A and B are shown apart, each in its own frame.
Chain A
């Protein structure tokens, strides 16, 4: 029983990182119906930029972190302006391929500038783990759980009360109606992309702190998070968070109980098996809007 609880707890904290990346996905999908396959690269880029600013500019880590967020916001706007805007009205496959192409370019840029070695992170979290019930948890994960909760609250308020948030929801509902109400859809898209880039950068920096360094493996989070957002429902903020936690737990349980039986690797594939099941049973996810077109 203790083993089970430990697996679940450890899954929950790891899942909080998935939830962070999932949030970025959802914000973009919610406003522009684009599934961004370059989300993992945003994460990686954010983590690299932060450590690069920290080591070269010799500023305190918190300042480097804030600068990174600023950089990510600008990057999001720039990408939307240059790449995504011409894609409005193009078929889904083109948009998917565009984000895949973008992912390739971002990876190349990161690898070209910083190489493939792991770049060590300064110790931003105390190394002594905190005991939660039966499980010692490293403090970095607690920060990540904390920021997920903060972001959840922020997003809820943002989408409910702020002008921009309401405009975003209106755009997601119908671009034409939004346009006729005087909402600049282009500006909304740009906002969505920069929010997504910023959220991913937060995830990247947290992950860098937890792992103690950043390397190319960060980009893989982009693919790992797809089952998460599908489970939660592509257009649901709460869904991304619940989905992230559930997938983290599922991974750990599969790893803990099935890996020894099946000779390993189940941990990695379990989310994708779950993905197939979700798509067959409830393709709009747990909290997604039920508006799937069927033929």
Chain B
């Protein structure tokens, strides 16, 4: 019986899955998710897509905040950049999504890197504040650059298109979003097996030591901003396709806080954490609603109280996780797994 780590080669140590069994279970899980549209109702398809988009965005934020240690409050604005670029390219030039999505990612990466510049000089709190400023500046530009963004009235996004294929509605879009999510997750997972990813982690753990060891700190910080914003930009592109209409009100600062909440609750510096956190934060209001709706016919005031209930539960979840499980759901998952691995000889 295996009851511990028996890694004998570097390949084993670097492997994503410990065993072929783990890989098979994972593939089976993916196949299961791919069949979900057959079961889900229209509304749950929407929730499913929103979860997948949130997974991409949270992974992007985790690359920056969880792995590189740079705090960003500008993610809602970066998401907006990706979404508006998508809307502009699709609406103005009628480009197919295979071109639009990478361009949206690259454009957002560019914007992200510009606002990442202060990270050359700033750390911690100050960087958080700088990215907060980025949010408001971008929001201002979007709501006043009427000729490109449609200003406060917003703009319509034509459906995602590739030659004759038109993806309209949540079900067809799922088959664009889902493979993309898996691919981006695999890329992120592999990123941290490379030199670049390890440099990110080195900067997070001790920037001065990293510099001493020959990591070009500024270059890699900027790169981290770029990669992270690329992810967020791609998520933004998918938001645009899914929403069909954009307005500045679609990307409030609370959205950036939601994303931070995802990686805090899921687990910072963990790809699995981004996934779990995104699922948790997106599902939370929906499950709350499911719980409250049957009661609402008896207690009508619940409809009004629901907004505060949702806000309170969100805040409470963050606070409780920070106090009792600072490493998030991913850490809890690993400890449960290792408990069973060593069962019954764990102590």
> Are A and B associated in one complex?
yes
- Minimum Cβ distance to chain A for residue B319 (Å): 4
Contacts of B196 in A (CB 8 A): none
- The answer for the CA separation of A272 and B129 in the assembled complex, in Å, is 9
Interface SS of chain B: helix
- Chain B residue contacts of A190, Cβ below 8 A: none
Beta-carbon contacts of B298-338 to A below 8 Å, as 1s and 0s? 00000011011111111111110011001000000000000
- Docked CA distance A112–B312 (Å): 9
- Residues of chain A within 8 A of B134, CB atoms compared: 276
CB distance from A279 to the nearest CB of B (A): 5
Chain B residues near A223 (CB, 8 Å)? 132, 253
Given contacts A83-B319, A265-B140, A295-B211, contact A226 B257 (CB under 8 A): no
Q: Which of B130, B207, B318 contacts A104 (CB 8 A)?
A: B318
Query: In the docked arrangement, what's the CA distance between A109 and B323, Å?
Result: 20
Interface presence of B125 (CB below 8 A): yes
Task: Tell me the complex Cα distance, A216–B144, Å.
Answer: 26
Interface residues of B in 81-122 (CB under 8 A from A): 118, 121-122
Give the docked Cα–Cα distance between A86 and B309 (Å). Answer: 25
For residue B323, which residues in chain A have a CB less than 8 angstroms away from its CB? Answer: 83, 86-87
| Cα-based distance from A98 to B315 in the complex (angstroms) | 8
A109 to B20 Cα, complex, angstroms = 50
Interface residues of A in 12-41 (CB under 8 A from B): 35
B129, B207, B318: the one within 8 Å of A100 (CB): B318
Residues of A within 8 Å of B304, CB to CB, are: 115
Asked if residues A273 and B137 are in contact (CB atoms below 8 Å), the reply is yes
Report A141 CB to chain B, min CB distance, Å: 25
Could you say which residues of chain A place their CB within 8 Å of the CB of B65? 93
| Residue A111 is within 8 A (CB to CB) of chain B in the complex | yes
The total of Cβ contacts below 8 Å across the A-B interface reads 143
A293 to B318, CA, bound (A): 29
Asked whether, in the complex, the Cβ of B133 is within 8 Å of the Cβ of A295, the reply is no
Contact B130 A275 (CB under 8 A): yes
Query: A106, A109, A223, A279 — which one has the most chain B CB atoms within 10 A of its CB?
Result: A279
Residue pair A105, B312 in contact (C-beta under 8 Å): yes
Asked, given contacts A263-B144, A275-B130, whether A105 binds B316 with beta carbons under 8 Å apart, the answer is: yes
Interface string of A87-124 (1 = CB under 8 A from B): 10011111011101111111111011001000000000
- The distance in angstroms between the C-alpha atoms of A86 and B319, with both chains bound, is 11
CB distance from A160 to the nearest CB of B (A): 26
Instruction: Assess A283 versus B126: contact at CB under 8 Å? Given A93-B71, A223-B132.
Output: yes
A272 touches B133 (CB 8 A): yes
A83 smallest CB distance to B (angstroms): 6
Contact (A96, B71) CB under 8 Å given A105-B316, A112-B305, A279-B122: yes
**CB of A18 to closest CB in B, whole Å:** 15
Can you name the residue of chain B whose Cβ is closest to the Cβ of A90? B326
Chain A nearest CB from B71 CB (Å) reads: 5
Min Cβ gap B202→A in Å is 12
- Whether B268 and A93, one on each chain, are in contact in the complex, defined by CB atoms closer than 8 angstroms, is yes
B326 touches A108 (CB 8 A): no
Interface SS majority for chain A: helix
* CB of A242, distance to nearest CB on chain B (Å): 18
| Contact A295–B207 (Cβ < 8 Å) | yes
- Chain B hits for A275, CB < 8 A: 129-130, 133
Contact flags B253-271 to A (C-beta < 8 A → 1, else 0) = 1000100110010001000
Interface residues on chain A, number (Cβ under 8 Å): 48
A142 to chain B, nearest CB (A): 30
B17: Cβ under 8 A from any A Cβ:
no
List A contacts of B283 (CB < 8 A).
none
How many residues on B have C-beta within 8 angstroms of the other chain's C-beta atoms? 51
Q: Which of A52-70 contact B (CB under 8 A)?
A: none
Contact yes or no, B137 A276, CB < 8 A: yes
A98: chain B residues within 8 A (beta carbon): 318-319, 322
Q: Is B128 an interface residue (CB 8 A)?
A: yes
Which single residue of chain B is at the shortest CB-CB distance from A108?
A: B312
Do A105 and B123 have beta carbons less than 8 Å apart?
A: no
| A-facing residues in B34-76 (Cβ within 8 Å) | 65, 69, 71
Structural contact, B122 and A94, CB atoms closer than 8 A? no
Task: Say if the beta carbon of B143 comes within 8 Å of chain A.
Answer: yes
Chain B residue at smallest Cβ distance from A111: B308
Is there an interface contact between B128 and A276, defined as CB atoms closer than 8 Å? no
**Pair B137/A101 contact, Cβ less than 8 Å:** no
Taking the complex as formed, is A128 at the interface, i.e. its CB lies under 8 A from any CB of chain B?
no
Q: How far is the CA of A191 from the CA of B77 in the complex (A)?
A: 37
The answer to whether B121 touches A272, judged by C-beta atoms less than 8 angstroms apart, is: no
Task: Determine whether the beta carbon of A103 is less than 8 Å from that of B264.
Answer: no
Question: Is A163 in the interface zone, CB < 8 Å from B?
Answer: no
Considering the complex, give the chain B residue whose CB is closest to the CB of A220: B253
Given contacts A104-B314, A104-B315, A108-B312, are A268 and B128 in contact (CB under 8 A)? no
A131 on the interface (CB 8 Å rule)?
Answer: no
Task: Provide the bound-state CA to CA distance between A106 and B312, in Å.
Answer: 8
List B contacts of A295 (CB < 8 A): 123, 207-208, 211, 217-218
Apart from A86-B323, A264-B144, A265-B144, list 6 A-B contacts with CB within 8 A: A97-B322, A101-B317, A104-B318, A108-B308, A108-B310, A276-B118
Query: Would you list 21 pairs from A and B whose C-beta atoms are within 8 A, ordered by A residue?
Result: A35-B125, A83-B319, A83-B323, A92-B71, A93-B71, A93-B128, A96-B125, A96-B128, A100-B315, A100-B318, A111-B311, A226-B132, A227-B133, A230-B126, A234-B125, A263-B144, A269-B140, A275-B129, A276-B118, A279-B130, A295-B123
